[in-house]
Amino acid sequence: METFFEINRWIHIAAGFTGFFVAPVALAVRKGGAAHRLWGRVFFWAMAVAGTTALVGAQHIHSLFLLLTAVFSLYMAGFGYRSLFLKPLAWDARVAAFDWAVAGVGLAVFLGTVAYAVFARNIPVGVFGVLGAGTAFRQLRGYANAGRWTKNQWLLNHISGFLASYIAAVSAFSVTSLHFIPFPYNFLWPTVLGVPLIRYWHQRVRVQRASLAPGSDLSGSPAPALHR
């Protein structure tokens, strides 16, 4: 059994480092291009593997922080990836039952995380719980407003999900490996640096959208006709 957990640990390390180095590449290349799509997929699967192996490893070493960080990172990576398939919600009010279910379960899980954090007075767990619950709530509110999304809401969600997943992964690495950084700074510094980055990219998207001709998306292609 120990051999299994050792293999799991090395797979987790390999996937985590892949995600760490690939994410900046996906941000640096032209958005929407072949390279961006390639490295974005590599990042998503790296985070999926890192998160799944972290779930297994957390059970082995009895680390609640690692467990909840893995859940948060997996959820946000899934949120960012799934947003690519939700572009039609700008003109189509039909939301798949799968999306409602994932957001509903996510909200319940993260609210439970917040409750535990308050009871245990665990700040890191509480921060991830609040961020996760807020994301799931906004998802549900967005689904209720389907058919009236702005054309690029899916892109804002894509950015938020992937970057939040990356922040969570870096936070877990910092807490478990960068022992020279005292608590709570070892947990907080990725969020302090990462949240302004998310806001920067959101602002870029909004500025680009405002500068485009009506009827175009960020790639400059005509947007699909709206249907009611």
pLDDT, tens digit (0-9, with 9 covering 90-100), for 38-75:
999 999 999 999 999 999 988 777 778 788 888 999 99
CA nearest 71: which of 32, 109, 123? 109
- What are the CB-based long-range contacts (under 8 Å, 24+) for 119-126? 122/64, 122/65, 123/184, 123/187, 124/65, 124/171, 124/175, 124/184, 124/187, 125/64, 125/65, 125/68
Place of tokens 């058919």: 147
Q: What is the mean pLDDT of residues 131-139?
A: 94
Neighbours of 207 (CB within 10 A): 9
Please state the domain extents for the chain: 64-211
**Cα–Cα dist 95/206, whole Å:** 24
The pLDDT tens digits for 166-222 are 999 998 889 888 989 998 888 889 989 999 999 998 998 888 877 664 555 554 444
Which carries the bigger pLDDT value, residue 136 or residue 209? 136
Return the pLDDT at 216. Answer: 52
CA nearest 78: which of 57, 53, 99, 92? 99
**Cα–Cα dist 41/164, whole Å:** 16
CA nearest 110: which of 73, 163, 83, 84? 73
The pLDDT tens digits for 75-126 are 999 999 999 999 999 999 999 999 999 999 999 999 999 998 999 888 878 8
Q: Is the dihedral of CA 174, 176, 181, 187 positive or negative?
A: positive
For the chain, the C-alpha Rg in angstroms (whole number) is: 18
